[in-house]
Amino acid sequence: MRKITCFILTSIIMVSIGQLSAKTNNSPISEKAVEHAISTLKSTYPSADAELIKRGVNHAASLWRSEDGSIEEFKTFCKENFLSSATDKKATFDKLSFYLESILGHYNKMSLDLQENVHLNTGPLSKVDRMFAAYSANAHWKSDFYANKIAFMIALNFPYYPTSEKIAHAQDWSRQEWAYARMGDVFSARVPSKLLQQYGQVNAASDAYIAEYNIYMGNLVNKKKKRLFPEDMVLLSHWNLRDEIKANYANKDNGIEKQDMIYQVMKRIIDQTIPEQVINSGNADWNPYANEVFENGKKVAAKDEPNTRYAQIVNAFNALKAIDAYHPVMDTYIKRKFSGEMQIPQPEVEQLFHEFLSSPQVKKVGSIIKKRLGRNLKPYDIWYDGFKARSSISEDKLNQITQKKYPDAKAMEADLANMLLTLGFTKEKADFLQSKISVDAARGSGHAWGAGMKSENAHLRTRVPESGMNYKGYNIAVHEFGHNVEQTISLHDVDYYLMNGVPNTAHTEALAFVFQERDLFLLHMKDDNPDKEYLKTLDIFWSLYEIMGVSMVDMKMWKWMYANPDCTPAELKVAVMDIAKDVWNTYYAPVFGSKDEPILAIYSHMVSYPLYLSAYSFGHLIHFQLEEHFKNHHFATEVERIFALGQLTPNKWMVEAVGTPISNDPILKAADIAIEKMK
């Protein structure tokens, strides 16, 4: 299989800001005025870099609007604010970095506070909670910076470089040049604050919708009105439902029956035939097969959820599409998410996933799973968990361990340093990381929220029932802990604030997977299986197989919406189900033996995290390559080094991290070896 070549950006021809016409950018600055400003600066500062002058003036002009001043005022601004001295430029950059860290960090803290009651288990949500969660405190700061001209000073002296040019310069830029380029990313396009605020409201509504989409498992009944799940079990869709399917592979009594029932619930959520009165409520019993609802033992009328799931997606699409016009190059959210944010164009991503999903290794691993299960594969076996060491341990036993160890969120917070010591970090580093991470009890499944400035803490959120943190919550918490460690290292240990973070979300997902892989190790439970390395390879392989298919559905859904921009929630529902079935039939039916399964459309990320799912796929690829690297290098030392690399381009980061680019090849070659060993 070929390596990823998408970093060359062959699929999308990107032009630099300097090549954009003033008309395209709604700018009143004519090309003649731009040339005059460039000529003036060149003659005034003959020793300055002529290419940087040209790029900076063009970039500033592309952002200028009539309300910012006349053409003459623009030319005067350029002459008075250009930094010709390298010393002055570095000093200004350092001050800008200080100010931006304070501004962005405090806005991050405000967002954290305003959404606290939506994200944390603080009791019933009120109308005012939702109103504040929907308020985007940072929606106007960029508009303010255009008004006071700070944005133009940054654009003039630290111009924007498109991803294609960053890749071209990856081998020759110094760390300072990388940091200057990242400063240029701050003002790459001018979007009205009103549109940002609108999307913030839509996103907050989607978050709240998903955070409260619980299924009361103790109220599920089969055709004999028998209950299969504990009375107090409440599972969030889709994360907890998926994890309950995983947990029941070790259940030899009625595990399959439970898994079948959960899958039926999932299908009802996908096609929106789930009764409204059973969502986030335990006031009625529900037979998901016959779709019958019972109150006090008597059947009552049930009303389906009115396509609310798909209305959330349509709302997000409309809000993001409204922003398209203000990005003359990245003129769709798909382009902004992939070529911009992810720094990998969508067609290349889709091709990479197609190659993996079509690989001959897939059928071979499916055959191994079928043999291990002793039955034909069922659709939910995309989440087969039997390659993990925990698959042979009952969930009850794991729950007993985690509930005793972590009766509440603060107990885990107090244990973070011990967990890091177990992973090989020094006491000094472990204590520092613990001091910078807070653990909170989540209303939803959980997430990691990084700090925007060094004086604040990152936050680890996971669900903690009154009985203590069960294994599902613990497993998620360890995943989020990996995110927090990345967030903290890449903020505090990187050499420039503007370089903080990682190239894209896949790289932080990779460390989260690395930590999650070690959840039993952190409980001091050893795996002595001589085949554990082969099993780990197959586990990562199967996870990739699952999430790449889900990502395909997500991408195809967004392409369909752009082709059908006036779609209704009902129309989108039909389209998503058709897309999910088509992807299933193409890549999964040959392995599973069943057609037209909709399961790939269940992911909650499709609702509240637009086009995020592909990051998981790349995260698994990076995860595997990191694990291979850690076999021959000290784990903690390398984690500290690698995640202090900062925001390079994805491939540049990967080469500096482990010496090789991101590719399907390592996992496919390792899978061949594991398949032979596990036959």
* CA pair distance 261, 264, nearest whole angstrom: 5
**pLDDT-based confidence at residue 14 (cuts at 50, 70, 90):** very low
The mean per-residue pLDDT over the stretch 513-525 comes to 94
Q: How far is CA 621 from CA 68, 576, 631, in A?
A: 46, 26, 16
Predicted pLDDT at 443: 87
Predicted pLDDT at 27: 87
Determine the distance from the C-alpha atom of residue 427 to the mean position of all C-alpha atoms in its chain, rounded to a whole number. 30
* CA pair distance 169, 156, nearest whole angstrom: 20
Express each pLDDT in 608-645 by its tens digit.
999 999 999 999 999 999 999 999 999 999 999 999 99
Residues in the chain: 679
555 against 118, higher pLDDT:
555
Express each pLDDT in 146-191 by its tens digit.
999 999 999 999 999 988 899 999 989 999 999 999 999 999 889 8
Q: How far is CA 648 from CA 197, 437, 444, 664, in A?
A: 29, 25, 32, 21
* CA pair distance 217, 338, nearest whole angstrom: 38
How is residue 236 annotated by DSSP? Answer: E
Report the half-sphere exposure of 211 (CA within 13 A, side-chain side).
Answer: 28
Q: How far is CA 5 from CA 203, 523, 542, 555, 670, in A?
A: 33, 40, 23, 19, 21
Q: How far is CA 477 from CA 173, 243, 482, in A?
A: 37, 13, 9
Q: Which amino acid is at 193?
A: S
Helix (H, G, I), strand (E, B) or coil at 455: coil
**pLDDT-based confidence at residue 308 (cuts at 50, 70, 90):** very high
Q: Going by DSSP bridges, is the β-strand pair 234-236/214-216 parallel, antiparallel, or unpaired?
A: antiparallel
Determine the distance from the C-alpha atom of residue 306 to the mean position of all C-alpha atoms in its chain, rounded to a whole number. 28
* CA pair distance 119, 206, nearest whole angstrom: 12
**pLDDT-based confidence at residue 19 (cuts at 50, 70, 90):** very low
Predicted pLDDT at 25: 54
Mean pLDDT of the chain: 92
Express each pLDDT in 222-278 by its tens digit.
999 999 999 999 999 999 999 999 999 989 999 999 999 999 999 999 999 999 999
* CA pair distance 157, 380, nearest whole angstrom: 54
Express each pLDDT in 542-586 by its tens digit.
999 999 999 999 999 999 999 999 999 999 999 999 999 999 999
pLDDT-wise least confident of 27-41, 46-60, 131-145, 296-310: 131-145
Are 129 and 215 in contact by the 8 Å Cβ rule? The answer is no
**pLDDT for 474 beyond 80:** yes
Predicted pLDDT at 17: 34
Predicted pLDDT at 392: 73
Are 475 and 247 in contact by the 8 Å Cβ rule? The answer is no
What is the 3-state secondary structure of 554-567?
HHHHHHHHHHCCCC
Q: How far is CA 144 from CA 139, 262, 347, 477, in A?
A: 10, 50, 36, 38
Express each pLDDT in 343-396 by its tens digit.
999 999 999 999 999 999 999 999 999 999 999 999 999 999 999 877 778 888
C-alpha distance across the termini of the chain, in Å: 23
**pLDDT-based confidence at residue 9 (cuts at 50, 70, 90):** very low
- The partner residues of 437 in beta bridges, in order of sequence, read 458
In terms of Cα–Cα distance, which of 516, 481, 513 is closest to 390? 516
663 against 679, higher pLDDT:
663
**pLDDT for 22 beyond 60:** no
Predicted pLDDT at 528: 81
